[in-house]
Amino acid sequence: MLRRKYARAYLHLLVLVLLPCCGFQRCCEATQSKPVDEARLLLQIKSAWGDPPVLLAWNATASAALCGWPYVRCNRAGRVSGLYLADVNVSGPFPDAIATLSRLRHLDLWNNSIAGVFPTSLYRCRSLKYLDLSWNHFIGELPADIGLGLSESLTTLYLTRNFFVGTIPHSLSRLHNLRFLGLHSNFFVGTIPAELGELTSLQELYLGDNSFAAGELPASFSKLTNLTILDVWSCNLVGDFPTFLVQMPELEILDLANNSLTGSIPPGIWRLNKLQVLILSENNFSGEIPASIARLPSLTDLDLGNNRFNGTLPPELGKHSLDLATVSVDNNDLTGAIPEGLCTGGHLWSFTASSNRLNGSIPAGLANCPSLSELRLDNNQLSGQVP
């Protein structure tokens, strides 16, 4: 009985203590859940860009129907979840009001004239999954903490074709959910960070056309086994062909062009049975073109021009790659005949082999290519007439 009495007294005291806290919590939650005037934020964004005509429909009189405004998407709760403003010809600074759209998941500003440094205000967008700032006029260095500041949910980050400088921040490796990363065509220096190899969910990686210091492709990239596209053209790469690349079973496009790579193509290239595009032009590759390259069933485009390859073209080239559309082997030291089966699939539209030492006659089979529109064979030792 005494224990029950004290228990009831304790419960009464606990209620008295917790009631004010609960009331305060409800007050805070009510404050936090109060809808932000997102129409006002969108109008601020419009104003920051000088009220462009393309956003004429964004106006205060229609604010109640903002989810129907062009380029705007809302979630089921009526909150702005996406801004799809690609290629709409807006210019000016990055409006910080964008970062106040707390439910924003998709931001696409591709191909505009937005200027300034990388907008760290985006760190406030904790739901952001897709961010495309490419083809704009952003400048300066990427923040060292970019990988810590941006949303952990981010799956897509495109910053291509801007004027970013400095080194690529190692912290990008903390964005473990990234599947698409585009940094090409900027002015990044230093070396390609080995830490990017920790982004094991990556499917597409674009690093080409930057100002990196001479270096090898990081060996840590061997862990990127989900890659379908690897673009590292014009990255000042040196060393031999990175042999770990032939262990990437999902690879569809591989662009190593315009580097200083040496050595030969690994015979194991045939393992890349999903490979469609192989671009190795403008390097210092040498040796024979492996016969196994003709066994790539999905190959559509092959560019080996401006190297030091010798020997013959693989005799089977074209017979197993039935969608083969372009072959370029210009400016090498190739000898022997043009493969008879280049046009087996009937899709070849370009074959260029100028400035080699090819001999023999021009295959009559080239006449069976209904889509062939480009044929360059000058500076060889071929005989006969072009079909």
Question: What pLDDT shows up at residue 349?
Answer: 94
> What is the three-state SS of the chain?
CHHHHHHHHHHHHHHHHHHHHHHHHHHHHHHHHCCCCHHHHHHHHHHHCCCCHHHCCCCHHHHHHHHHCCCEEECCCCCEEEEECCCCCCEEECCHHHHHCCCCCEEECCCCEEEECCCHHHHHCCCCCEEECCCCEEEEECCCCHHHHCCCCCCEEECCCCEEEECCCHHHHHCCCCCEEECCCCEECCCCCHHHHHCCCCCEEECCCCCCCCECCCHHHHHCCCCCEEECCCCCEEEECCHHHHHCCCCCEEECCCCEEECCCCHHHHHCCCCCEEECCCCCCEEECCHHHHHCCCCCEEECCCCEEEEECCCCCCCCCCCCCEEECCCCEEEECCCCCCCCCCCCCEEECCCCEEEEECCHHHHHCCCCCEEECCCCEEECCCC
CB neighbourhood size of 195 (10 A): 17
Q: What is the CATH number of domain 237-387?
A: 3.80.10.10
Q: Show the tokens assigned to 304.
A: 């080996």
Give yes or no for a contact between 179 and 157, defined as CB atoms under 8 angstroms apart. no
CA max distance for the chain: 115
Residue 112, C-beta contacts closer than 8 angstroms, at least 6 positions apart: 85, 86, 87, 88, 89, 90, 91, 135, 136
| pLDDT tens digit sequence for 189-242 | 999 999 999 999 999 999 999 999 999 999 999 999 999 999 999 999 999 999
Question: What pLDDT shows up at residue 36?
Answer: 59
User: How far, in Å, are 146, 242, 286, 291, 311 from residue 308 at the CA level?
Assistant: 42, 18, 5, 17, 10
Residue 376, C-beta contacts closer than 8 angstroms, at least 6 positions apart: 330, 351, 352, 353, 354
Nearest alpha-carbon partner for 114 in 178, 50, 64: 50
pTM over cut 0.85: yes
Question: What pLDDT shows up at residue 364?
Answer: 81
Question: What pLDDT shows up at residue 240?
Answer: 98
Question: What pLDDT shows up at residue 312?
Answer: 98
Question: What pLDDT shows up at residue 297?
Answer: 98
Place of tokens 């999905």: 298
| pLDDT tens digit sequence for 285-340 | 999 999 999 999 999 999 999 999 999 999 999 999 999 999 999 999 999 999 99
The answer, yes or no, to whether residue 13 has pLDDT greater than 60, is no
| pLDDT tens digit sequence for 142-196 | 999 999 999 999 999 999 999 999 999 999 999 999 999 999 999 999 999 999 9
Percent of the chain clearing pLDDT 70 (strictly above): 90
387 falls in which pLDDT band (50, 70, 90)?
A: low
370 falls in which pLDDT band (50, 70, 90)?
A: confident
Question: What pLDDT shows up at residue 366?
Answer: 79
Min mean pLDDT across 27-31, 57-61, 200-204, 302-306 is at 27-31
The sign one gets for the Cα dihedral 211, 217, 218, 223 is positive
Residue 37, C-beta contacts closer than 8 angstroms, at least 6 positions apart: none
For residue 384, which amino acid is it? G
| pLDDT tens digit sequence for 63-115 | 778 999 999 999 999 999 999 999 999 999 999 999 999 999 999 999 999 99
Half-sphere exposure of 75 (CA within 13 A, CB side): 12
Domain boundaries, the chain: 237-387
The answer, yes or no, to whether residue 359 has pLDDT greater than 80, is yes
| CA 173-178-179 angle, 5° bins | 130
Nearest alpha-carbon partner for 334 in 279, 294, 379: 379
Question: What pLDDT shows up at residue 371?
Answer: 87
